[in-house]
A and B are shown apart, each in its own frame.
Chain A
């Protein structure tokens, strides 16, 4: 009786922790898990891994079991007689050489098949996305759609996306675990990965090759969207083109280009993701079908000026269309709509964005964006400006 209540009491004390631990063992607890594949590519590896795991589990149970058995069964005491002096057994030794070899062969066959499947070149109608790794953010370009973005890559569900990847500086590794295993990116050659997403949603990914001080905060987000949503997003991004030269204050590097011919512009104005007000005029008068001019927002205007005055424009482009290559900082054309800033590191709230603008070093030490001496007031304006960039 006593023992049972004691045990129960112990169980109750430890129960929360055990539940927590049990939960922590389930892949559903982990948004970035590799064990819940939602793409064809990821399933190839997952399949093989599952098979290998079960073989490993079987071997584990058998061999550790034999070990445990031996530990108990063959206990001896100092005075015991000497056991039989066996030197070996050729038959058994052959058996336990051959059987593991056969098991490995059973793993090798799907492995080789999987290697060739995952190395295959994706079909011609795959959506091309160029990935450029930077210290410590991710650049995404859609060459056939003429748009550039950063840190949050939008892809359509049900269509193969073909990633062609490089780095602008050191070796990084692109890893979106729900969709694919990782692929390293190199400065002098292109690497590739592809997958067809099966499920819409927003999923985290991370750099997986140590790349310097902020390797730990070089994440990204994958926004898998229905084909319609994706088309809307693309169309919207294609409106985020350059200011015409006349409207520019001092012509910064990227505003010399105008919105490109061939950009698909929707007939109706497009709302940003968070329902924020459409962008102020001045930016898109060169394109046809421009959104109507909203009432002028003083914070926005102040922010626009500060974006130039503080030098932000030197590292960050606000144009998604024909964005220049080789920018040090991420493209900010749609930064207002992104879920995270700082390369998937911090939630994109006004407060966090303001903090980042004022002191990026405090949040992500060593990042290439210096402290620009932005006051809280100025930060508010810049936030308003950037928030409008959806």
Chain B
């Protein structure tokens, strides 16, 4: 398009305002866009780590009685694969989009609490590093991502593995809570004039509901982890049967968190799909209100289904019935969403660009995941399915086929906005097909081996049970999947070298983020927009009778922005320090905790009293 004009404008703008560069500017940034990029790059790195862990697992399972991995290594890898993908990949990838896109979508210049936002990123980074530092001690967590008692008691897990997991998750929980408070307030309080709640973009809506889930679910696992910590460090017996404790209590507490957690993992993806499908079908989302209310209903009901993870524990017929029925009930709003998405593309004029490939792939895969979920909802059937590869198939279909496909769609969709460059279409399509094929070759056979008797979390299997053939196939699929991400990486590297000349609105978008330059200037909006309906940008373009001109880059004079600060980083180090201190208490006494607390106190104190500038 008008690249030279754009470059001219950039030159003008550059004369007025310099966006800082360099490591220090990243360490002290409070700009939501930069924090989003920090989240995204860190998360993508951990995603690759989790992926390599998965490939190692698949190599081990590719043959019966394989000795590629020892049982301890296998158990550490499957634990870390799950923990990494959930807490260090999917959640922070969503956070990347929360950070970058929510303020843009609601027409805000920043989030409500820029330093709290930065704090949450640094705590996340330190938590992820802490969790993985177990590998350095040969003691990576090895008790499963869900850490069932009483395997996690000191008696049966005397090593450091469970401690790394326990404290790592506590650190990550603090990051999630801080971010959730920030985004909850941002969405409620910082919308542009005219943007009522029922005019918000769907990604912002689903993200809003996700923040509520985070706020209500994380405290429960915080308590569970505290009780486990007391068991392991202070001699209590909350989950230790010998002292009167009950392992089942852990399961209840964990899943009261754990089930809302899976909606935390998938709702942002739902929001992304609800944005991508309308734009690339060139018609609005079908049934906006139903989509909002079904999302809210799923979140609400999500707190009432947790014991469907416990059907094999013998809770009794009344409990089984209750949770079976609530689980079936939650399928209804989920179905509504799928049908509304179908309704969105139906009768549309589908523009086949990479984002909608992934969005349509999402729908196809999520349907399968949802249907296997319905199959689990019936306890008599679930007694065979639970803890088998049938479950592994189900949750990979909803978490990979669901969340990852959706996040990838969001990645391609919002890439130009975030980085000012378009990703390559052809490589993107190759990425899609490799990912779709690789994913299905890896995970579809798991339905079959699972129902045919293969339990999960097994480091090997014998000959003679018939598992070899499909396991070998699944391993091949996993490598195809790995290859697809290689293609994605090549795409990123190749296009990164090109000029930063993506237009503001490459896709004919409907929402406010497409009305500002790509990438946006530090203050996002030169003028705060006024909104008159849903899909505000379509409305504006309709009124004008055509596409909008490239928005100019302005000097930013007179726009007040929050100042960078290193206190969030200091406070984050304090938080991690306290946790490390507790874990090291047997060795160093209370001094580690006190040092961490001191750093935390200094960080928070200075943060609170930071002078205006």
Q: Does chain A touch chain B in the assembled complex, meaning CB atoms less than 8 Å apart?
A: yes
Q: Which residues of A contact B (CB under 8 A)?
A: 20-21, 23-25, 27, 29-35, 42, 44-46, 48-49, 52-53, 55-56, 59-60, 63-64, 66-67, 70-71, 74-78, 80-89, 92-93, 96-97, 100-101, 104, 107-108, 111-112, 114-119, 135, 169-171, 173, 175, 177, 180-184, 186-189, 191-192, 204, 206-217, 219, 345, 365-366
A residues less than 8 Å from B74 (CB atoms): 216
Given contacts A86-B284, A212-B151, A213-B72, contact A116 B453 (CB under 8 A): no
Closest 6 pairs (CB-CB, A-B): A181-B383, A32-B453, A76-B349, A216-B458, A30-B452, A114-B380
Q: Is B559 an interface residue (CB 8 A)?
A: no
Residues from chain A with Cβ under 8 Å of B320 in the complex: 115, 119
B331 CB–A CB distance under 8 Å = yes
Interchain Cβ contacts under 8 Å between A and B, 27 examples: A24-B445, A31-B465, A52-B378, A56-B371, A74-B345, A74-B346, A74-B349, A87-B288, A89-B343, A93-B340, A97-B332, A97-B336, A111-B324, A114-B381, A115-B380, A177-B384, A181-B312, A186-B241, A187-B150, A188-B246, A192-B314, A206-B453, A206-B458, A208-B312, A212-B156, A214-B71, A216-B459
Q: Tell me how far the C-beta of B160 lies from the nearest C-beta in chain A, rounded to whole angstroms.
A: 16
For the complex, give the distance between the alpha carbons of A180 and B348 in Å.
49
- B339 and A96 contacting across the interface, CB-CB below 8 Å: yes
Partner of B464, one of A31, A71, A173: A31
Q: Which of B324, B347, B364, B465 contacts A83 (CB 8 A)?
A: B347
CB-defined contacts of A101 to chain B, threshold 8 Å = 332
Q: How far is the CA of A75 from the CA of B283 in the complex (A)?
A: 13
Query: 0/1 per residue, B247-263, Cβ < 8 Å to A?
Result: 11000000000000000
Structural contact, A182 and B384, CB atoms closer than 8 A: yes
Instruction: Verify A118–B383 contact, CB threshold 8 A.
Output: yes
Min CB gap B67→A, angstroms: 10
Residues of A within 8 Å of B459, CB to CB, are 215-216
Residues of B close to A27: CB separation below 8 A: 451-452
Question: Once bound together, how far apart are the Cα atoms of A214 and B335, in whole Å?
Answer: 40
| Cβ–Cβ contact B455 & A34, under 8 A | no
Interface of B is mostly: helix
CB-nearest residue of chain A to B457: A210
B374 touches A52 (CB 8 A): yes
On whether the beta carbons of A104 and B332 are closer than 8 Å, the reply is yes
Taking a contact as CB atoms closer than 8 A, the residue among A44, A56, A84, A171 that contacts B148 in the complex is: A171
The bracket for how many chain B residues form the interface is 35 or more
Q: Are A171 and B386 in contact (CB under 8 A)?
A: no
Q: Which of B92-100, B466-474, B572-580, B593-601 contacts A (4 or more CB under 8 A)?
A: B466-474
On chain A, the residues within 8 Å of B26 by CB distance are none
Bound-state CA distance A46–B352 (Å) is 43
Say yes or no for B492: interface residue by CB 8 A criterion.
no
Contacts of B451 in A (CB 8 A): 27, 33-35
Provide the bound-state CA to CA distance between A33 and B389, in Å.
12
Q: Are B375 and A49 in contact (CB under 8 A)?
A: yes
Partner of B283, one of A83, A114, A189: A83
Q: What separation, in Å, do the CA atoms of A195 and B449 have in the docked complex?
A: 24
CA distance A131 to B456 in the complex (A): 22
- The answer for the CA separation of A42 and B347 in the assembled complex, in Å, is 47
* Residue pair B470, A170 in contact (C-beta under 8 Å): no
B565 at interface, CB cutoff 8 A: no
Cβ 8 A contact of A20, one of B148, B329, B469? B469
Which of A107, A108, A184, A366 contacts B71 (CB under 8 A)? A366
> Contact at B374–A104, with CB atoms within 8 Å?
yes
**Residues from chain B with Cβ under 8 Å of A182 in the complex:** 312, 383-384, 386-387
Residues A107 and B312 in contact, CB atoms below 8 Å apart: no
Query: Would you call B347 and A100 a contact (CB within 8 A)?
Result: no
Query: What is the bound-complex CA distance between A177 and B325, given in angstroms?
Result: 25
Residues of B within 8 A of A87 (CB): 284, 286-288
Task: Decide if B287 touches A21 in the complex (CB within 8 Å).
Answer: no
Known: A35-B451, A83-B282. A70 touches B386 (CB 8 A): no
Q: Is the CB of B246 within 8 A of A25?
A: no
- B428-460 at interface with A (beta carbon < 8 Å): 445, 448-449, 451-460
* Cross-interface CB contact of B364 among A67, A78, A82, cutoff 8 Å: A67
Shortest Cβ gap from A160 to chain B (Å): 17
B302 in the interface, Cβ–Cβ < 8 Å?
A: no
Question: Residues of B contacting A93 with CB < 8 Å?
Answer: 287, 290, 336, 339-340
Whether B383 pairs with A76 at a CB distance below 8 angstroms is: no
CA distance A46 to B385 in the complex (A): 11
Contacts A84-B347, A365-B72 known; 11 new A-B pairs at CB < 8 A: A34-B385, A45-B383, A60-B368, A97-B336, A115-B321, A171-B148, A173-B312, A181-B383, A206-B455, A207-B455, A212-B151
B381 / chain A contacts, CB cutoff of 8 Å: 45-46, 48-49, 52, 111, 114, 181
Please, how many angstroms separate the alpha-carbon atoms of A86 and B473 in the complex? 44
Q: Which residues of B are found within 8 Å of A88, using beta-carbon distances?
A: 286-290, 340, 343
Q: Are A71 and B350 in contact (CB under 8 A)?
A: yes
Q: Check if B281 is an interface residue, CB within 8 A of chain A.
A: yes
Contact across chains for B328 and A107 when beta carbons are under 8 A apart = yes
Say yes or no: A104 contacts B328, CB within 8 Å: yes
Q: Is the CB of A49 within 8 A of B378?
A: yes
Please measure, in the bound complex, the distance between the C-alpha atom of A103 and the C-alpha atom of B453, giving whole angstroms.
28
Closest chain B residue to A203 by CB distance? B453
Contact (A76, B380) CB under 8 Å given A56-B371, A96-B335: no
Cα-based distance from A119 to B320 in the complex (angstroms): 10
Q: Which B residues between 349 and 366 are near A, CB-CB below 8 angstroms?
A: 349-352, 360, 363-364
Docked CA distance A59–B290 (Å)? 21
**B470 CB contact (under 8 Å) in A24, A59, A114:** A24
Q: Are B452 and A35 interface neighbours, CB within 8 A?
A: yes
B residues 459-488 near A (Cβ < 8 Å) are: 459-462, 464-467, 469-470, 473
Within B375-423, the residues touching A (CB, 8 Å) are 375, 377-388
Cα–Cα distance between A59 and B455 once the two chains are bound (Å): 27
Residue in A closest to B363 when the chains form the complex, CB atoms = A67
Whole-angstrom distance between the alpha carbons of A81 and B465 in the complex?
58
Q: Does B313 contact A (CB under 8 A)?
A: yes
The answer on a CB contact under 8 Å between B342 and A83 is no
Name the A residues within 8 Å of B313 (CB-CB).
184, 186, 191
Query: Residue of B at shortest CB range from A37?
Result: B384
Establish whether residues A74 and B380, one from each chain, have CB atoms under 8 Å apart when the complex forms: no
Q: Chain B contacts of A55 at CB under 8 A?
A: 374
CB distance from B384 to the nearest CB of A (A): 4
- In whole angstroms, what is the CA distance A212 to B240 when docked? 16
Does B6 count as interface, using CB distance less than 8 angstroms?
no
- Chain B window 5-43, contacts with chain A (Cβ cutoff 8 Å), 1 for yes, 0 for no: 000000000000000000000000000000000000000
B611 close to chain A: CB less than 8 A: no
The minimal Cβ–Cβ distance linking A371 to chain B, given in whole angstroms, is 16
Q: Is the beta-carbon distance between B387 and A209 smaller than 8 angstroms?
A: yes
Answer whether residue B144 sits at the interface, using C-beta atoms and an 8 A cutoff: yes
- The reply to whether A24 and B448 form a contact with Cβ atoms under 8 Å apart is yes
Contact A56 B150 (CB under 8 A): no
Q: Are B349 and A83 touching (Cβ within 8 A)?
A: yes
